[in-house]
Copies of this chain bind each other. A is one copy, B any other.
Amino acid sequence: MNQRLSQAQKREIAQSCIHAHLKQAVRLVTQQFDAALSAMDIRATQYNLLVASSLMGTVPLTVLADELGLDRTTLSRNLKPLETRHLIHTYLSDQDSRVRLVEITTEGERLILDAYPLWKSIQKEVTKVFDDETYKSLLNQLEQLQS
């Protein structure tokens, strides 16, 4: 006996697994944001990346990755399509040739400006289903995960 999980245990996992629920939520939210931003031919992940880059100015790849809580190699690859479109510019540092510096271009600045109403609109839309209290608590609690 005991070769299988009980049905109750299976249901426990399926119904309460926080990883599964969060992932599902992200899939939904990503689709909403991507659809909204598709008019500017940009994705939610990319939009956030551009904004972060704009906020940080000229910044080493690794520093930007840390700021975003992203793996260095992931960020590196995420930048590729943006650099191809000249929304981002990267180059090796003069002081330390190991370091790749990242900065947003004028076109990139222009795009985040133009896309802002789209972001604002879908952000409002999606946030509507959350009451403010829950959302604030959520953000706070997510912070704790970092540590």
Q: Hey, which chain B residues are within 8 Å of A70, CB to CB?
A: 27
- Interfacial residues of chain A within 97-147, with CB under 8 A of chain B in the complex: 106, 109-110, 112-113, 116, 119, 123, 126-127, 129-131, 133-135, 137-139, 141-142, 144-146
Copy tally for this chain in the complex stands at 2
Q: A21 to B135: give the CA distance in the assembly, Å.
A: 10
Q: Hey, which chain B residues are within 8 Å of A2, CB to CB?
A: 113
Q: A109 to B52: give the CA distance in the assembly, Å.
A: 44
Residues on A lying within 8 angstroms of B by beta carbon are: 2-5, 7, 9-11, 13-14, 16-30, 32-33, 44-45, 47-48, 51-52, 54-55, 68-70, 106, 109-110, 112-113, 116, 119, 123, 126-127, 129-131, 133-135, 137-139, 141-142, 144-146
List 7 interface pairs A-B (beta carbons < 8 Å), by A numbering. Answer: A5-B51, A9-B116, A16-B123, A17-B123, A130-B138, A131-B137, A134-B137
